[in-house]
Amino acid sequence: MALIVDGRRIANRIKERVSSDLKKLASEYGIAPAMATIMIGNNEESELYFKLREKASKEVGIKSKLYRFPDDATEREIIDTILDLNKDEEIHGIMVQRPVPNHLSLFNILSKIDPDKDVEGMAPQNLGNLFLGRETIVPCTPLAILKILDHTGVKLEGANAVIINHSPIIGKPLAILLLNRNATVSVCHVFTRDLLKYTREADILVTATGTPNLIGREHVKNGSIIIDAGISKTEKGICGDVDFDGVKDKAGIITPVPGGVGPVTIACVFENLLKLYKKRVQGG
């Protein structure tokens, strides 16, 4: 039976540390840490996710400000707000809630965020630094996956890591993070011809596709680490990409959905905010 990673416990530990550091800095410098969220259009899941994050940020000691836009907002309107927030001394981090309506380019918008307020680590300068092995602010889900891997104690150097996702938000930055730690990395996606050939050799398998049951027992190497970042809403509730019951006695370590990567990702947003806030108040 695989060891099941308790993402909520890892997240709580990160949040406690962030909260304690933020409180010390806030009382020393007299500046309240604050994060702005840009939300475009009406999306039930985005609303829910924002509310959960807002509650958690309050607990950690971060003020949360919401900037709402209608479904038909123009890229210019959103970018103008970001440019104003970049200059706002009271805001230390800016986040754009996904998904954004199809007529907008998410990456055009994210590229306008000041790298020193880029809480999601998606500004080109921060991504470029990651590419060069200078990890500054790192995208939150890849950072969460790295923290979970650290928690397992696995040696990344020389490990055979397979990632199923090649998005700029998860797969690509995670591949670089793992390469920076000398893992051997394969990145798979819908055009990968023989997924099984890659996954069954993986010491570490990370999947984030949003396809329930994509990964079954046959895809998994004995004793491997399985990180499931996929999120799908099904009749049975929220599930990941992995057939958890089929895989759990073959893998060595596995993350559940829910309660795995998700909560750690939210904690990593706060950790990034702490870094940005610290740099701002200490003038680094």
Ligand X SMILES: NC(=O)c1ccc[n+]([C@@H]2O[C@H](COP(=O)([O-])OP(=O)(O)OC[C@H]3O[C@@H](n4cnc5c(N)ncnc54)[C@H](OP(=O)(O)O)[C@@H]3O)[C@@H](O)[C@H]2O)c1
Q: How many Å apart are CA 130 and CA 163, to the nearest integer?
A: 18
Q: What is the DSSP letter of 88?
A: -
Position among 227, 261, 274, 276 found at the interface with ligand X (CB under 6 A): 261
- Please confirm whether the linkage preceding 33 is cis (ω < 30° from 0): no
Position among 87, 102, 190, 234 found at the interface with ligand X (CB under 6 A): 190
Q: CB of 162: closest distance to ligand X in angstroms?
A: 11
118 within 8 A of 143, measured Cβ to Cβ = no
* Residue keyed to tokens 């702490």: 274
- Closest Cα to residue 204, out of 130, 132, 153, 267? 153
Interface of this chain with ligand X, residues 84 to 143, rule: CB under 6 A: 141
Interface of this chain with ligand X, residues 192 to 231, rule: CB under 6 A: 208-211, 214, 229-231
Instruction: State which residue, 110 or 261, has the beta carbon closest to ligand X.
Output: 261
Position among 126, 165, 255, 272 found at the interface with ligand X (CB under 6 A): 165
* Residue keyed to tokens 């938000």: 169
Interface pattern 41-80 for ligand X (x via CB under 6 A): ----------------------------------------
Instruction: State which residue, 121 or 230, has the beta carbon closest to ligand X.
Output: 230
Q: How many Å apart are CA 100 and CA 109, to the nearest integer?
A: 10
Q: Does 242 bind ligand X (CB under 6 A)?
A: no
Total chain residues near ligand X (CB under 6 A): 23
Q: Does 7 bind ligand X (CB under 6 A)?
A: no
Q: Does 164 bind ligand X (CB under 6 A)?
A: yes
- Closest Cα to residue 152, out of 1, 258, 4? 4
Other CB atoms within 10 Å distance of the CB of residue 169: 20
* E-state strands within the chain: 3-4, 34-40, 63-69, 93-96, 160-164, 184-188, 204-207, 225-228, 232-234, 237-239, 253-254
Instruction: State which residue, 78 or 214, has the beta carbon closest to ligand X.
Output: 214
Instruction: State which residue, 87 or 236, has the beta carbon closest to ligand X.
Output: 236
Residue span binding ligand X (CB under 6 A) among the ranges 42-50, 62-70, 162-170, 276-284: 162-170
Position among 265, 270, 273, 276 found at the interface with ligand X (CB under 6 A): 265
Q: CB of 169: closest distance to ligand X in angstroms?
A: 5
38 within 8 A of 77, measured Cβ to Cβ = no
Footprint on this chain of ligand X (rule: CB under 6 A): 141, 164-167, 169-171, 188-191, 208-211, 214, 229-231, 261-262, 265
